[in-house]
A and B are shown apart, each in its own frame.
Chain A
Amino acid sequence: MSKTNRFIGAINILLALALAFSMLAQVSVYAYSSTTEWKGYAVYRDGVSGFNSGLNDHAALMDEPNRTYYKPIIHAPGYSDPVQWDHWDDFMNGKKYLGIFKPKNTTITETVANSFVSKARELRGISYNVLDQIVYSAGSNTWVYPENISQLRCDGVVEYTYEWFGYRVGGPDNKWDITRNLIANYWEHSGFFITPRKQNQELLTKVSSGYPD
């Protein structure tokens, strides 16, 4: 074999190796994207003592790609604890599972999912409140920041997180944004105008009846 042929052979091997590496990289990109699968989606279950007010369901946001992760959700578990990361069991509590949901007409990309999770994490430590989705004091701010919020209900965590990024959940036109510091918007998210049950039955899109696995 001539020197030139050997050189061409070496080039071919290098090109083949480069191609193989690029394919591996491609595979790893897909593997990475699959790790965000259910991150940022809302999950619901029933079984809350809600006096048939619509509060009978419980909402949480997926903080991890699936429920097998350690503490995969963020939620407002009730008066015993503030908004926090929690185990899947502490979300389910042996009740009936209602499914995975997302804002209407929304594609939850990796960037969007990470934004939702990042914002939801800022809500950790905020106390629970059963009567209103949100209680805050934002002074003359245009927007309601997490540090302005003193109390949240479980559906308030979902509503605030999605609406902060402009994904409408509930409320009439011009007053739907819970993160806008206006009396009208505050009023529309007080009491039981919006409830966890209304969110999962009317306001959000059901993506799956299965577990976030």
Chain B
Amino acid sequence: MSKRFSRFILVILISLTTLGCFMFFGMDYFPVVGGIIATNRVNKYVGKPINNVRFDWLNNKYICSLDDGYELSYNLHYNTIYDKRISDEVRDIANRKYLSIQKDFPTNLILPQNIDVWTEINANNYAVKSQKAYILVVYNLEVLSKEQSLEMPAKIAQLFVELMGNGYSFTGIQLIYADKNGMYELSVFSNAFELLKYEYMKENVIKYSKNELPLDYIDWVKQHFD
């Protein structure tokens, strides 16, 4: 084996090991190439060259600041762009819609005053969205069995998605639900573009243990059920 070929193999092995380490630690960072891809995606999106694209190690994404102070971020793993201006606008529209659909939920549910919606867009096709909804916290005054309680977060989430209509592409959700039996959390967080499905949401509900219960829930139970 020639010396040159051995060096080539060594470089390949070191590169693969480095990438393996980043992947093992769940980083969406790809040395050099990741920065180039992110810069190209951002430039194309903004329509002009942006020089300050850098990796945010804490939040695992590429970020840059625009001239007007707004921040854009790019997720290499999912190839998504987060544009704060668009996300904020969508959140406001979604909240107006949410206010209009509150009457369609069962009356025994106490819904949060407003919701949060986080919107990312596909860097290859800006019309394709990936949206996360935050519905914190839904209280239920109805007395249910423990099995029924466990099913409620996914049922409420499904109803929410249906009532919000086709204009939204919910791919992630955090919904916290509370009733007499306890506090439950439905959490589906993925930046992929697959829309939420009832069965998948149902599988991702956990019940808070006793020491995870917040003080306001303990007070609420005392107030309504003691």
A→B interface (CB under 8 Å): 47-49, 51, 58, 77-80, 89-90, 92-97, 99-100, 130, 205-211, 213
For chain B, the count of residues having a C-beta within 8 Å of the partner chain is: 39
Cα(A192)–Cα(B58), bound, Å = 16
Cα(A204)–Cα(B35), bound, Å = 39
Chain A residues with CB under 8 A of B187: 96
B84 touches A89 (CB 8 A): yes
Chain B residues with CB under 8 A of A213: 112-114
Q: Please classify the interface of chain A as helix (H, G, I), strand (E, B), loop, or mixed, using the class held by over half of its residues.
A: loop
B212 touches A49 (CB 8 A): no
B213: Cβ under 8 A from any A Cβ: yes
Chain A residues with CB under 8 A of B54: 80
Chain A residues with CB under 8 A of B82: 94
Chain A residues with CB under 8 A of B168: none
Q: Provide the B99-119 mask, 1 if CB < 8 A to any CB of A, else 0.
A: 000000000000011101010
B87: Cβ under 8 A from any A Cβ: yes
What's the least CB distance linking A142 to chain B, in Å?
Answer: 33
B58 touches A207 (CB 8 A): no
B160: Cβ under 8 A from any A Cβ: no
A49 touches B26 (CB 8 A): yes
Which single member of A49, A90, A99 contacts B57 (CB below 8 Å)? A49
Chain A residues with CB under 8 A of B25: 49, 51
- Interface positions of B from 115 to 133, Cβ below 8 Å from A: 116, 118, 120, 132
Chain A residues with CB under 8 A of B213: 206
Chain A residues with CB under 8 A of B42: none
Which single member of B71, B116, B212 contacts A211 (CB below 8 Å)? B116
Chain A residues with CB under 8 A of B136: 97, 209-211
Cα(A205)–Cα(B174), bound, Å = 21
Chain B residues with CB under 8 A of A77: 58
Chain A residues with CB under 8 A of B89: none
Which single member of A47, A97, A210 contacts B59 (CB below 8 Å)? A47
Chain A residues with CB under 8 A of B71: 90
- Interface positions of B from 32 to 85, Cβ below 8 Å from A: 54, 56-60, 63, 71, 82, 84
A97 touches B134 (CB 8 A): yes
Which single member of B27, B58, B120, B185 contacts A78 (CB below 8 Å)? B58
What's the least CB distance linking A209 to chain B, in Å?
Answer: 5
Query: With A209-B137, A210-B112, A210-B176 as given contacts, are A49 and B60 in contact (CB-CB < 8 Å)?
Result: yes
Which single member of A89, A94, A205, A209 contacts B183 (CB below 8 Å)? A209
B88: Cβ under 8 A from any A Cβ: yes
Q: Provide the B185-226 mask, 1 if CB < 8 A to any CB of A, else 0.
A: 101010100000000000000000000111111000000000
> Could you write out 8 A-B pairs with CB less than 8 Å apart?
A78-B56, A79-B58, A100-B214, A207-B216, A209-B137, A209-B183, A210-B137, A211-B116
B174 touches A96 (CB 8 A): yes
Cα(A100)–Cα(B137), bound, Å = 13
Closest Cβ neighbor of B59 among chain A residues: A93
What's the least CB distance linking A49 to chain B, in Å?
Answer: 5
Q: Beyond A79-B57, A209-B217, list 13 extra A-B contacts (CB 8 Å).
A: A78-B58, A79-B56, A80-B54, A89-B84, A90-B71, A93-B59, A94-B82, A94-B191, A97-B136, A209-B176, A211-B136, A213-B113, A213-B114
Cα(A206)–Cα(B217), bound, Å = 10
Chain A residues with CB under 8 A of B27: 49
Closest Cβ neighbor of B25 among chain A residues: A51
What's the least CB distance linking A207 to chain B, in Å?
Answer: 5
Which single member of A48, A79, A130, A208 contacts B216 (CB below 8 Å)? A208
What's the least CB distance linking B119 to chain A, in Å?
Answer: 9
